[in-house]
Copies of this chain bind each other. A is one copy, B any other.
Amino acid sequence: MASLNEIIHQPVRLRIMAMLIALPAETQMKFTLLKETLELTDGNLGAHLHKLEEAGYLTIVKAFVLNKPQTYIQATEAGRNAFLEHRNALREILGGSHGKKEER
């Protein structure tokens, strides 16, 4: 039976990982872009990012750009693989015309 990843399945974290995975590998996304797109508070987004970081699925880099603090988020290789496995499992469960197709 297709196995769902409980860390990634949570709705906010599913959206975070989907946004990160849509970028090319080794590419970072600004915290503020995630926050605005997902319409979350700093605290709520931060908590979900921390959970994903603990699982090894992303890295959080804090930097100063023109003397202003900026936070950048990047999916790890493990995070990309976990998301793609979860996506395949979901598609298998969801069924329908595209549900059975396995892809990476």
Task: State whether the Cβ of A54 lies closer than 8 Å to any Cβ in chain B.
Answer: no
Interface residues of A in 72-104 (CB under 8 A from B): 87, 90-91, 93-98, 101, 103
Q: How far is the CA of A10 from the CA of B103 in the complex (A)?
A: 24
Q: So how many copies of this chain end up in the complex? A: 2
Asked if A69 lies at the interface with its beta carbon under 8 angstroms from chain B, I say: no
> Separation in Å of the A44 CB from the closest CB of chain B?
15
Which of B9, B18, B98, B101 interacts with A11 by CB under 8 Å? Answer: B9
Contact across chains for A97 and B93 when beta carbons are under 8 A apart: no
A residues with a Cβ closer than 8 A to B are 1, 4, 6, 9, 11, 14-15, 18, 21-22, 37-39, 87, 90-91, 93-98, 101, 103
